[in-house]
Structure 1
């Protein structure tokens, strides 16, 4: 820890083990970003991100990188929600996530919610770089404030590139000091939970799902590539998760 906050880095590398499964030759985290391997499911390796400290706080700098090589399958979740908090150090905190998925590889990136507590200031980026034959399920959820609490400042940027081509690049800023209108009818419309689900599958290049409204607060949008985006808002984290889970089940053909 320094006068400017905590700096922490974590790295995951997944590779096919040659026996039909997935090995994790690199599983390295420090400080508040502890990584734990959990029981595998079939050919898929599973990793849990465990918050070993509070944060991110003001001035902190976190980064997490996951690389999935050809033939590997990786599922990454988190043990609990991440809570952005104010700290003794003034200034913005940053949390940067980089995901790299090779041809014939699959990544399911399904962390718990990010909660923006009152007085916090966090800029979070998630950048996914995929080869043409890669597969991805990425869920991102933000909750503005804890129960009965006003939110902090939260800026979130999500970028997805397939074979070097950007198919999604969006940024949302909420809370005190964010551009006007973030809580208006064109953006959150008074809701306090917002989320995205990105699904990338090579077969979508030939037949993508049609755009459609999913209830009152969610929509499925085909992207300019073998990918779709589900964007949703809800009154709370539980309802948001239900919307995104139902959307993924439809895409998987389970409903």
Structure 2
């Protein structure tokens, strides 16, 4: 299955207007909220079919124009499932945030079901003083099952320069994925990246947040990345909440 979802947000009279909201099964997009305090618009990705399944080619394109504010969530976790032998599912995400814009990307986690072969590739391009909150989470298999293969590739560029680039691979074809240098026996992992121009003078300091979690300021800009590993998603989110307490409150409120 091939499908593309496109979202374009523009600022208009102090609020955000969605001028493009197009989607195809299984990437269905629905507007779900509006925040009066800052004019942020909220949309949810709604799964229109099971998956992603092996063989699927999915793409999400997000554009936030100058001064607009957008929050993208999902109604449920994405369950990567096996398809025909040798078939890989691919999800490409491309987001661009203009100067003065803000994007919060807060989907539910990816669950790598047994036998899946899934790749998620994310590219975020920021201009000037654009703000970004970007969360990615992976759960290794459903309850009581071994995970399939999943690889997440993420890159963020600010004014054309790479701010962050990382890759995570889990599953039977990823050497050492469960060992101490990767998940250390954990079943879930997550990252939370925040880019905030207000941090230019005083970015967050590096900190250990727990046995499997850390906060790291990024050298390329006013940004910090929190990473956590845990036995389940609840442990991971609890650790990430310690990194950015105000952001954690803001993530849960609407």
Normalised to the residue count of structure 1, the TM-score between the two structures is 0.93
Structure 2 vs 1, CA of residues 165 and 151 (structure 1 numbering), >3 Å: closer, same or farther?
same
Give 1:167 deviation, angstroms: 1.2
Residue matched to 1:3 = none
Q: Is the 8 A contact 2:133 2:195 kept in 1?
A: yes
Residue matched to 1:215 = 210
Q: Is the 8 A contact 1:59 1:89 kept in 2?
A: no
Report the number of matched residues: 247
Give 1:216 deviation, angstroms: 1.4
Task: Tell me, in whole angstroms, the C-alpha distance in 2 between the residues paired with 1:119 and 1:231.
Answer: 26
Residue matched to 1:132 = 128
Q: Is the 8 A contact 2:209 2:242 kept in 1?
A: no
Q: Secondary structure at the match of 2:70?
A: strand
Stretch deviating more after TM superposition (45-54 or 242-251): 242-251
Q: Which of 4, 12, 16 matches 1:22?
A: 16
Gaps in structure 1 of 5+ consecutive residues: 1-5
Residue matched to 1:236 = 232
Stretch deviating more after TM superposition (35-44 or 241-250): 241-250
1:203-248 CA distance string (max 9 Å, x none): 2222111101012111000112111000110101122122223323
Q: Which of 45, 49, 54 matches 1:53?
A: 49
Gaps in structure 2 of 5+ consecutive residues: none
Structure 2 vs 1, CA of residues 253 and 120 (structure 1 numbering), >3 Å: closer, same or farther?
closer
Counterpart mapping for 1:34-113 below 5 A: 34-42=28-36, 43-88=39-84, 90-113=86-109
Residue matched to 1:245 = 241
Task: Tell me, in whole angstroms, the C-alpha distance in 1 between the residues paired with 2:205 and 2:244.
Answer: 14
Task: Tell me, in whole angstroms, the C-alpha distance in 2 between the residues paired with 1:242 and 1:37.
Answer: 28
Structure 2 vs 1, CA of residues 89 and 28 (structure 1 numbering), >3 Å: closer, same or farther?
farther
Q: Secondary structure at the match of 2:242?
A: helix
Normalised to the residue count of structure 2, the TM-score between the two structures is 0.94
Give 1:253 deviation, angstroms: 9.3
Residue matched to 1:187 = 182
Stretch deviating more after TM superposition (198-207 or 20-29): 198-207
Q: Is the 8 A contact 1:38 1:46 kept in 2?
A: yes
CA RMSD of aligned residues (A): 1.4
